[in-house]
Amino acid sequence: MVNTKVTLSGWQLDNPVIPASGTFGYGNEFKDFYDINILGSFSFKGTTKEPRFGNPTPRIAETPMGMINSVGLQNPGIHAVIDHELPQLKKFFDKKVVANISGFSIDEYAYCCQLIDKEDQVGIIEVNVSCPNVDHGGMAFGTDAANVAAVTRAVKAVTTKPVYIKLSPNVTDIVPIAKAAEEAGADGLSLINTLLGMRIDLRTGKPVIANTMGGFSGPAIFPVALRMVYQVAKAVKIPVIGMGGVSSAEDVIEMMYAGATAVQVGAANLKNPYVCKEIIENLPKVMERYGIKDLNDIIGKA
């Protein structure tokens, strides 16, 4: 027998597999495909203070080894999530979830996190700092260490649950930003969010995405994500959740060798809704193939 259980900030998961935010909705969309209680947990759709319709269409573009999206944080808003989505979730999911929170100002992050912190169904608050800071010219919070630290401190001041900061890869060096989050009190880190990419329609000569550029994800970014997880895990003492192009049990193990304690699966869910189920079922077999008895033994051992 092998051990697939892992622990994030005192919260034990049956396995390290977590569908990533924005690819799993609030769970309802996937419950008819399989019993999602087999998951370690899942990170629900990025949630903001006010409801958002999102960006204009087209929002999605294919690439040879991935996809580009510019959905624009479409969500019903924090109050609808608390009043409707979480009560619905309780009917078919028995575990705690990762609450992904987004915002466009420090006050908005703090407001949403303070509310979601009160919900028993939430195990970890995952703060997405890839949003544009509307108070400072629209530059994403996550590209500046001081901004990341400010968001982290504001959220930690109003919460009791573990706070994981989800980092943007669209920076020259991710390590100082990770350290800034740790020093400001983050309990853990999630990385990476999507890279920035675009496609052009040769028939029209115009960008495929209405917003010109979008978040690039899928298998093509896995080596970049793995490298950043490795760099950050070596530099901080808090847990790391790794993600970016993960689509197999082998990818999960590779991420854990790089330093991830748990692993999120994103774009692969959109191509194959059963991918997380398949990864969880294959994980013990792959562990046995490589002589791994306990996943905790390989975290950060690369």
Active site residues per annotation? 131
Cα angle for residues 121, 183, 255 (degrees, 5° grid) = 65
Task: Give the pairing type, strands 240-243 and 188-191.
Answer: parallel
Task: Give the pairing type, strands 214-217 and 206-207.
Answer: unpaired
Cα angle for residues 215, 247, 28 (degrees, 5° grid) = 75
Cα angle for residues 69, 71, 76 (degrees, 5° grid) = 150
Q: What ranges in 133-292 are assigned the alpha helix state H? A: 145-156, 175-183, 222-235, 249-258, 268-271, 275-289
Spatial distance between the Cα atoms of 196 and 212, rounded to a whole number of angstroms: 10
Type and span of the H or E element at 64: none
Residue 58, preceding bond cis, omega within 30 degrees? Answer: yes
Spatial distance between the Cα atoms of 269 and 100, rounded to a whole number of angstroms: 17
Spatial distance between the Cα atoms of 299 and 302, rounded to a whole number of angstroms: 8
Residues 6+ apart with CB under 8 A from 158: 110, 113, 114, 117
Is 284:4 a contact under the CB 8 Å cutoff?
yes
